[in-house]
């Protein structure tokens, strides 16, 4: 028998996830979940008050205030700043965060801060989000930060309290899933369409219990903004987190940001970040292959993000479905007010929302503005653009994007989560149909009785002008 060599000398091949996970293990008590260290804890007004109350009741402190950063985003109005908040319960919740941050010594980007914004927009743009980190927030779209090659996931309020008190979490080790996107995205097909295409293929529970790593040529070609959009939607496939290996595009984005390492710390950091990508031949628990050439601009037609069709396609014909999918499809179509078999391009809309932690960054606004330029919003449509942060808003205004939107008849508003979840006054009225760049088309998500169709920023802008969904690949850019 030939001598095969001592295989035990080979270093184990590891995935990006495994490298970060192992580097953050604080303790592995026998018979218990591993205890993982958390590098950055992002906090907002909605899921934190009960956690701070818990600390107070137990006489505990915030263990690492300098690893904890807060902002207000979920329920703040997008009216000009300084307009009083008329929703008294929302105002009380914002005041609670202000008081808690003061009491516990946590940095807060408040309403009047020039850097306020959606928590998943400001983390990256301030350089708080960096490769190799563990990041949590009491918000499911924390998966966004995985775009930097960080392990970032959403937690509930009890876990928020746990991280505040211990800077750690006891977590069962998730499984790994590779989503390998072969080939390149065609013109007009964006990161949002890639995300919707993946969810359409694997389903809203297709990645439950797994951390997804997005790989392949199409993913490598995405900008950081595109990678954030893709990772953001991981939770809509049920994933614990989504990640993209860091590369030169990542480093160039982080460099020079306000909280990014500098001088000697920067070089050391980049050297470490270069060691993070998944080793050639490392094993995943599950692998999914996606053919980028098969993707097109998508529009959701139902009440979860997996209910999606190509813009050139039709609402499903219920009769052609398997028995198990028939009832949920019927319920969805009933809620959405759509007849089976209707052409997607024949669906007229009343509202357009361009914003949210999925699609409210500068690149998203540029893409939408390019479509809107020289056109006018359809007379039957009310369209709003809500930048993800004050920083995005200023940058967009410097480029004159706000002029393009305002001239075309879009509203240009202040930063926040806004109509993505309708906790502030920006909501749909019952029966109103909306083309939205956000992440969830659940019943009532954008307002009770409201009907949400998820699309990319370009597709949303085009729908605003046409008054119905239209294929961006045929758009007359001016």
Partner 1 sequence: MNPFRTHRGRLAPLDRVNVDTDQIIPKQFLKRIERTGFGQFLFYDWRFDTGGKRSAGFVLDEPRYQGASILIAGKNFGCGSSREHAVWALADFGFRAVISSSFADIFANNSTKNGFLAVRLSEAEAAELMRRSRECDDYQLTIDLERCEVRDDQGFRAQFPIDEFVRHCLLNGLDDIGLTLQHEAEIAAYEALHPVPQALHSPRA
221-250 residues near partner 1, rule: CB under 8 A: 235, 238, 240
Nearer to partner 1, 137 or 228 (CB): 137
Please enumerate in sequence order all residues whose Cβ is within 8 A of that of 106, keeping only pairs 6 or more positions apart, or say none: 43, 62, 65, 68, 69, 70, 100
Please enumerate in sequence order all residues whose Cβ is within 8 A of that of 474, keeping only pairs 6 or more positions apart, or say none: none
Q: What is the closest distance, in whole angstroms, from the C-beta atom of residue 376 to partner 1 in the complex?
A: 32
Distance in angstroms (rounded) separating the CA atoms of residues 446 and 423: 8
Q: What is the closest distance, in whole angstroms, from the C-beta atom of residue 404 to partner 1 in the complex?
A: 31
Distance in angstroms (rounded) separating the CA atoms of residues 439 and 457: 12
Nearer to partner 1, 132 or 388 (CB): 132
Q: What is the closest distance, in whole angstroms, from the C-beta atom of residue 288 to partner 1 in the complex?
A: 18
Task: For residue 205, state whether it binds partner 1 (rule: CB under 8 A).
Answer: yes
- 462 in Cβ contact with 345 (< 8 Å): no
Scanning residues 52 to 81, which ones bind partner 1 (CB under 8 A)?
Answer: 53, 58, 60, 64, 66-67, 74-75
Scanning residues 285 to 304, which ones bind partner 1 (CB under 8 A)?
Answer: 304
Binding partner 1 (rule: CB under 8 A), the pick from 13, 56, 102, 262 is: 262
Site string for partner 1, 114-133 (x = CB under 8 A): ------------xxx-----
Nearer to partner 1, 93 or 190 (CB): 93
Distance in angstroms (rounded) separating the CA atoms of residues 422 and 242: 25
Binding partner 1 (rule: CB under 8 A), the pick from 422, 428, 456, 460 is: 422
Scanning residues 164 to 193, which ones bind partner 1 (CB under 8 A)?
Answer: 165-170, 172, 174
- Helix/strand/coil for 155: coil
Site string for partner 1, 315-344 (x = CB under 8 A): -------------x--x-------------
Distance in angstroms (rounded) separating the CA atoms of residues 230 and 220: 12
Binding partner 1 (rule: CB under 8 A), the pick from 151, 196, 423, 472 is: 423
- Helix/strand/coil for 437: coil
Distance in angstroms (rounded) separating the CA atoms of residues 226 and 219: 9
Scanning residues 333 to 392, which ones bind partner 1 (CB under 8 A)?
Answer: none
Q: What is the closest distance, in whole angstroms, from the C-beta atom of residue 71 to partner 1 in the complex?
A: 15
Q: What is the closest distance, in whole angstroms, from the C-beta atom of residue 228 to partner 1 in the complex?
A: 18
- 348 in Cβ contact with 434 (< 8 Å): no
DSSP state of 226: H
DSSP state of 319: G
Distance in angstroms (rounded) separating the CA atoms of residues 308 and 306: 6
């Amino acid at each position: 028998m030939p001598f095969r060599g001592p295989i035990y000398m080979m270093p184990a091949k590891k995935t990006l996830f495994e490298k970060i996970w192992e580097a953050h293990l604080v303790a592995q008590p026998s018979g218990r979940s591993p205890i993982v260290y958390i590098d950055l804890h992002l906090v907002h007004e909605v899921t934190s008050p009960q956690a701070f109350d818990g600390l107070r009741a137990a006489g505990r402190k915030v263990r690492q205030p300098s690893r904890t950063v807060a902002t207000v985003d979920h329920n703040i109005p997008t009216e000009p700043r300084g307009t009083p908040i008329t929703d008294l319960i929302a105002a009380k919740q914002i005041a609670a965060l202000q008081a808690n941050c003061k009491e516990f010594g946590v940095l807060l980007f408040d309403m009047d801060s020039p850097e306020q914004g959606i928590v998943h927009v400001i983390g990256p743009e301030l350089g708080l989000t960096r490769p190799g980190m563990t990041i949590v927030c009491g918000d499911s779209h924390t998966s966004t930060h995985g775009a930097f090659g960080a392990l970032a996931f959403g937690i509930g309020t009890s876990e928020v309290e746990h991280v505040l008190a211990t800077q750690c979490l006891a977590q069962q080790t998730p499984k790994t899933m590779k989503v390998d996107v072969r080939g390149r995205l065609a013109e007009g097909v964006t990161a949002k369409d890639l995300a919707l295409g993946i969810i359409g293929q694997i389903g809203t529970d297709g990645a439950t219990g797994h951390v997804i790593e997005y790989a392949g040529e199409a993913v490598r070609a995405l900008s950081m903004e595109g990678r954030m959009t893709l990772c953001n939607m991981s939770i809509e496939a049920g994933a614990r987190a989504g990640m993209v290996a860091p590369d030169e595009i990542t480093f160039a984005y982080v460099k020079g940001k306000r909280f990014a390492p500098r001088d000697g710390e920067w070089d050391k950091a980049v050297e470490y970040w270069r060691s993070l990508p998944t080793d050639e031949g490392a094993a995943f628990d599950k692998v999914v292959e996606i053919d980028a050439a098969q993707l097109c601009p998508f529009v959701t037609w139902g009440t979860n993000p997996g209910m999606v069709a190509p813009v050139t396609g039709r609402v499903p014909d219920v009769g052609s479905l398997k028995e198990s999918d028939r009832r949920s499809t019927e319920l969805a179509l009933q809620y959405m007010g759509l007849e089976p078999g209707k052409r997607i391009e024949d669906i007229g809309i009343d509202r357009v929302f361009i914003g949210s932690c999925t699609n409210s960054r500068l690149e998203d606004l540029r893409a939408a503005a390019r479509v809107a330029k020289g056109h006018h919003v359809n007379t039957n449509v009310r369209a709003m653009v809500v930048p993800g942060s004050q920083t995005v808003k200023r940058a967009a205004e410097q480029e004159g994007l706000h002029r393009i939107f305002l001239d075309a008849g879009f509203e240009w508003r202040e930063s926040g989560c806004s109509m993505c979840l309708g906790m502030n006054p920006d909501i749909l009225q019952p029966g109103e149909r909306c083309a939205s760049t956000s992440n969830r088309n659940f019943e009532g998500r954008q307002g009770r009785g409201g009907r949400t169709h998820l699309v990319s920023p370009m597709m949303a802008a085009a729908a605003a002008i046409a008054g119905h969904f239209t294929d961006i690949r045929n758009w007359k850019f001016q």
